[in-house]
Amino acid sequence: MTEWEIKEHPDFFKDLDKLGTRDLTTFYSKKKKIKENPLRQEHLSGGANCYREPITDNIRLVYYIKGDTIWLLTVGKHKEAFKTYLKRLYSLREKLNP
């Protein structure tokens, strides 16, 4: 069984600052579930090895898997999260694969 490591995109904490207390609580419980089994959610089109996790009806967490590392890319309102994740994915890939 793979031991997953979770890392955050450098801009990820800006997204967390925008969440309310209830959403943060839900986020942290979902983060534990993702670490246990990150491949349980639907794969996102447009980004290889990218997945989404619903936090609420309107808030999504988007993450990327590279090797045994789970990169948290963005969390926020549905439409904003999907616009932001591709930019962050490409900047992260450039950093990881110079």
Which CATH number does the domain 5-96 belong to among 3.10.450.40, 3.40.50.10490, 3.40.190.10, 3.30.2310.20? 3.30.2310.20
Whole-angstrom Cα distance, residue 10 to residue 16? Answer: 12
pTM for this structure?
A: 0.91
Label residue 1 by pLDDT band (50, 70, 90): low
18-27 residue pLDDT tens: 999 999 999 9
